[in-house]
Amino acid sequence: MARFKVVPLENSPDYLVLRTAMRMKTALYRTLFGSGLRVSPEQWSILNRLWEKEGLCQSELAEKTSRDRHNMHRILGLMEKNGLIRREPDPLDSRRSNIFLTQRGREIKEELVPLVEDFGDQVFAGLSDEEVRQLWRLHERIGSNLEILEKAQGGG
């Protein structure tokens, strides 16, 4: 007998997760743009990765931020236009460009991190630290299950 039962859409786990993720993205967008910094949630995730390690190529950034490569190209173009990143030819592969932060891309961290931390505090208000850790563990476990399923289906 199946543990997972088909239920009305609004009670379906995948729908609830998707709806929550969309609402978080919208709220984060409003937080970031409301601050006057004009950085989207997608740009935030790219900046966050580049603060960890600069010099990644477009496909590496796409993978590390769960974006498709075509969308990544568009987002990076906007970030370059707004002075947050610069692209440099890869010295080992002329077909690739590596992405680096500009001075502005580094400096904006001081403004963005407190905003996003406050946003997270608001989103998880009313949850204990243990509940937040449990939520992370559950998401990681479901993600691992999905990775196994993707491989079994010939994807991923």
pLDDT of residue 1: 66
What percentage of the chain exceeds 90 in pLDDT? 78
Rounded mean pLDDT of 37-61?
Answer: 95
Residue spans per domain, the chain: 9-125
CA–CA gap between residue 35 and residue 52 (Å, rounded): 23
Q: Which amino acid is at 140?
A: E
Q: Would you say residue 135 has pLDDT above 90?
A: yes
Give the pTM.
Answer: 0.85
Q: Which helix (H) or strand (E) holds 5?
A: none
Q: What is the CATH number of domain 9-125?
A: 1.10.10.10
Q: d(Cα 56, Cα 105) in Å, to the nearest integer?
A: 15
The per-residue pLDDT for 156 is 61
Residue 54 in this model has a pLDDT that exceeds 90: yes
Could you report the per-residue pLDDT of 101-134, keeping only the tens digit for each? 999 999 999 999 999 999 999 999 999 999 999 9
